[in-house]
A and B are shown apart, each in its own frame.
Chain A
Amino acid sequence: MSEPVAVTDKTPVTVLTGYLGAGKTTLLNRILSEPHGKRYAVIVNEFGEIGIDNELVVGADEEVFEMNNGCICCTVRGDLIRIIEGLMKRKGKFDAIIVETTGLADPAPVAQTFFVDEDVRAKSRLDAVVTVADAKWLASRLRDAPEAKNQIAFADVIIINKVDLVTPAELDEVEARIRAINPYARLLKATKCDVEIDEVLERRAFDLERILDIEPDFLNAEDHDHDHHHDHEHGHDHHHHGLKHFHDEDMQSVSARLDGDLDPNKFMPWINNLTQTEGPKILRCKGIVALKGDPKRFVFQGVHMMLDGEPQRDWKPGEKRESKVVFIGRDLDEEAIRKGFAACAA
């Protein structure tokens, strides 16, 4: 049975990405056919794969527009703004929205739509970017298709699909390649996208209230190196948590951490300046920081040049005040980010 939904709740929007043939439509049909009692409005690209069995399916044109604010990476999906506006007129007829993008789509404009458009923000919220990856072909696509790399780097949830078609060693390799780009996404392994729907929907990945921790998904508390120094020696496949450790040539994550407080008068200008100047290269960023004199944890997240941040819950008594930031992006200057962050110490 469907659960009652509070009228004040914003409609969650899940974005499904994945390179051509990875299995987006399989996942979509799986979500739609599960007996969860939820009703979905599905936004598909007009030239996409057919055969979606759902009452409310809307064809979209994937019209990516630049915002008129002088910021070149600030692109939005104009069609999505229009469609969400239209769907909201039928509010009450569905519980959530799923957006399926084309295989070549960059997830950034979709996500940025939820930062930029006031009307979209007022009525809906981006839940998570879910990327379906083909276990057999992802490694090749990461070499020859920048779109595939973007989709992995951007994801909150990554489904390695068709694991039945690869050997355990091949699976290890594809997992390691994904982790080299995005160690923070939740990783699921599947055959025919047979994942638990709860693992994909209602993730609240963009909800500042829910960003409780930003540890890499695979880390165990005991033996992780907090600074996640990547091994830059190529050709040297050392084993890390039983996985090969790769370094992706152009897409990386950089994390930094600092014990104690940050000076808000240093940190705020630094993070703003960093995202303004390096924004085109930064796909995603997140952070939980302790600002001097503030009893609350300050949490932020961003997409390219767009930042969203707010004070969250109080630091608990006995909880260690510390600050952590994570950036996933292309050709990031790791040393400059680390130094800049370190200089924000109070």
Chain B
Amino acid sequence: MTEPSNSLTQHVSPLEAGEPVLAAAFVGDAPALALANGVVKLGGRDVAAHPDGAILCAALDGARWLTGGDDGRVVAISAEGAAETLADEKGKWIDALAAREGAVAWSAGKTVRARDAKGAVKSWTAPTTARGLAFLPKGYRLAAAHYNGVSLWFPNADAAPQLLEWKGSHLDATVSPDGRFLVTSMQENALHGWRLSDGRNMRMTGYPGKSRSLSWSHDGHWLATSGAEACVVWPFKEKDGPMGKPPRECGVRPHRITEVAFHPRALVVAIGYADGLVLLCRLGDAAEILVRPPGAGAISALAWDKIGARLLFGTDAGAAGLLTLPA
């Protein structure tokens, strides 16, 4: 393919991360980067979220950012830079985090805990290590991905979680914004999906590598995925989801896609590659705009702000940048 003729590179301001970037988000209005050395760069300041630790996972909830570290702590960081320890699983790692409307869930090995907005914590032991967590959009219900399936847990109910079974090791979990579909990434370079109304299975295969970055379009009709040399976008508008339908592909380059992030208001997906390049791609006509040329590591974090005016990215070699779309 030819490199895109359109370019937004002059609208990118570089940020100095200095350490591998593990996650990115806009906390309140401030661009924030979670770094391998346990520091969160928030606007211009450093928040020592996990001193002597590494940040392993992060989740945004409104105006606060949650980070989980290999120090066993779950930390909530406010837009003002205040860090509050929400949980301390001593001697363990926080493997996964999810957050929604004041509720936070985390896992450390098989232990899964959910903390509601009032601070009440409930615990559940998964059959094997819980690798990915996602709150369902309605009610207080958590999906936890583990070996051989996903469990749907109501933290406030005594009932045993509902198990959606599918053989294999499930890694990340995500639920469509309308709550109709649950999708996991798997050890076997594939995605697995369930229609939640009836538990119907859907397999999404063909990836050359693991697909670890999943992003829903604002209307919930599309799921953009990493793990191939093109951004594979699966259709979820119809009631059968992507069953029997080919995915769209955009941003085809001879480099593996490591991160994807749908624009919060338009059918435009930001794509980050293993060679450090960042593109914007419009789903309708696959038109491409260059954001960042290759270099300085693989893209390891991508995030839009709430209105889609700014895009934040970071690499595993400690580079980062902020795109501000021209008005």
Contacts and interface: CB of A to CB of B under 8 A. Distances in A.
A91 B188 CA distance: 25
Contacts of A67: 168, 187-188
Contacts of B36: 89-91
B70 interface: yes
A58 B93 contact: yes
A69 B168 CA distance: 9
A68 B166 CA distance: 10
A11 to B, nearest CB: 15
Interface string A73-84: 000101101110
Contacts of A65: 147, 168-169, 187
B110 A61 contact: yes
B302 to A, nearest CB: 17
Given A78-B147, A118-B210, A119-B210, A86 B186 contact: no
Interface in B104-147: 109-110, 128-129, 131, 147
Given A78-B128, A119-B210, A69 B188 contact: yes
Contacts of A310: none
Given A63-B147, A65-B147, A68-B168, A89 B93 contact: no
A68 B187 contact: yes
A119 B95 CA distance: 17
A346 to B, nearest CB: 35
A89 B20 contact: yes
Interface in B271-319: none
Nearest to A55: B52
Interface in A63-115: 63, 65-69, 76, 78-79, 81-83, 86, 89-91
A155 B218 CA distance: 53
A59 interface: yes
A82 B54 contact: no
B209 interface: yes
Contacts of A117: 187
Contacts of B54: 86, 89-90
Nearest to A83: B93
B169 to A, nearest CB: 5
Contacts of A86: 54, 56, 70, 93, 95
Contacts of A63: 128-129, 147
Given A78-B169, A81-B187, A89 B128 contact: no
Interface in A21-78: 58-59, 61, 63, 65-69, 76, 78
Contacts of A81: 187
A147 to B, nearest CB: 21
B91 interface: yes
Contact of A61 (B20, B55, B129): B129
Contacts of A119: 210
Contacts of B128: 61, 63, 78
B22 interface: yes
A81 B70 CA distance: 15
A90 B70 contact: yes
B300 to A, nearest CB: 10
B92 interface: yes
Nearest to B189: A118
Contacts of A78: 128-129, 147, 169, 187
A16 B169 CA distance: 25
B106 to A, nearest CB: 14
B245 interface: no
A91 B37 CA distance: 10
Interface string B87-99: 0000111010000
B167 interface: yes
A282 to B, nearest CB: 23
A79 B129 contact: yes
Interface of B: 20, 22, 36, 54-56, 70, 91-93, 95, 109-110, 128-129, 131, 147, 167-169, 186-188, 209-210
Task: Across the A-B interface, give the 9 residue pairs with the lowest CB-CB distance, nearest first.
Answer: A68-B168, A89-B54, A90-B54, A68-B188, A89-B36, A65-B169, A78-B169, A63-B128, A86-B56
